[in-house]
Amino acid sequence: MFYAVMLHTLKGLHAFDTSAAFAANKKSLLRFALSVAFLNLLPFLHFSVILLYLLHYLQLNIFSILTIFALSISIFGFDKVFHAILVRFSGRLYTAAEFESVMKFSNDMKRKFASHYLQFLVPGLLYILIPLGLLLLEFEKVSGIATIIGSAAGAVIVWHRWRAMSLRKQDEAASPQDGSQAKGTQRSED
């Protein structure tokens, strides 16, 4: 299921553009390497460590079943982190022609690249860290609770700061207009 969803969401991103990557296009090669790392290698290592070393110690109960379900969904976190990297470093990962092609692919791509990268990074990290915290609850309650609370608190703090930053930018964009109008009214009064 993950790969079907992933391939659908990556269709217009030129993530695995092997022909451009190996045709001396450094940006495509870097994008290809990031794609392999974040969408193939890291999820494989994530599940390998979990399956080989941790899951066989779980006792069969409803909590462990929910934990395994959460860990299987955590794979989407790697996809979100990959999208955050593409959005944040789009100038370094796409040539002008490639980026134009990505933008023409769909309105969804325009929306994604118009978004702030934290809109992808924070949920992506939560997809990965919260299930790991649930797994840790089975072995050491303090570490599991700390991981879950720390992840959630970190997400709230980052969201709050990002939101305050974007509101400040909106205020700054609006204030020069207000200031010029105020100066204009003062001049007309003089």
pLDDT tens-digit series, residues 5-46: 555 456 667 777 777 667 777 888 888 888 888 888 888 888
| Of 123, 127, 173, 140, the residue nearest 54 (C-alpha) | 140
Q: How far is CA 87 from the centre of its chain?
A: 9
Q: Is residue 149 over pLDDT 90?
A: yes
Neighbouring C-beta atoms of residue 132, cutoff 10 Å: 22
62-109 pLDDT, tens digit per residue, is 888 888 888 888 888 998 898 889 888 888 888 787 888 778 776 777
Mean residue pLDDT of the chain comes to: 78
Reported pTM: 0.74
- Any idea where the domains of the chain sit in the sequence? 2-175
Q: Which helix (H) or strand (E) holds 111?
A: helix 107-114
